[in-house]
Structure 1
Amino acid sequence: MRRPFYHYLMTHRDPYKKDALTLFANAAEKDGSFPKQSESYEEISRYLEMSGDYLESMTVFDDAFRLYKETND
């Protein structure tokens, strides 16, 4: 069974690191509305475009989702 993107993203949390992926993961953890059960690029992308003001660039999400697909397929 595939895990949702959110579960993958949470593996990148770290209170000390400051790279873009870690900052994204740390912020997404605090976002109570994040689509936590989704595996859909389109659904998560739409959500982040409308509500993800903590994301410095959608490129960060694109890169994270590519890594997620590589480890989940």
Structure 2
Amino acid sequence: MNSFYHFLMTERNPKSTDAIAQFANNAFYDQSFPKQSNEYEEISEYLEENASYLPSMTIFDEAWENYKNNKH
């Protein structure tokens, strides 16, 4: 199973104004992002404490739902 970060990178689109695409674009430049994790609590806590680029945790929650629905 791919990590959440790996999934999120498939959502990158520098020209998009979509909130998840913007989250992905910014996470790409976040050197400390927990790239190997697929644990909701770990990623959520990290974002709440460190991700000033994420305007709302609901964007993460929406991206997480997409991640869960796309797991193989």
**TM-score for both structures, normalised by structure 1:** 0.96
Report the equivalent of 2:48: 49
Matched-pair identity in %: 54
Aligned CA RMSD, in angstroms, stands at 0.7
Quote the offset at 1:15 in angstroms: 1.4
Aligned equivalents of 2:14 and 2:47: distance in 1? 22
Unaligned runs of 5+ in 2: none
Distance across 2 between alignment mates of 1:22 and 1:55:
11
Alignment of 1:1-73 (within 5 A): 2-72=1-71
* CA distance in 2 between partners of 1:72 and 1:38 (Å): 14
TM-score normalised by structure 2 residue count:
0.97
Q: Amino acid of the residue matched to residue 48 of structure 2?
A: E
Q: CA deviation at 1:38?
A: 0.2
How many Å apart are 1:40 and its aligned residue? Answer: 0.3
Deviations 1:13-32 (A, max 9, x none): 11111110000000000000
Aligned residues: 72
Q: Matched residue of 2:43: which SS?
A: helix
SS in 2 for 1:23: helix
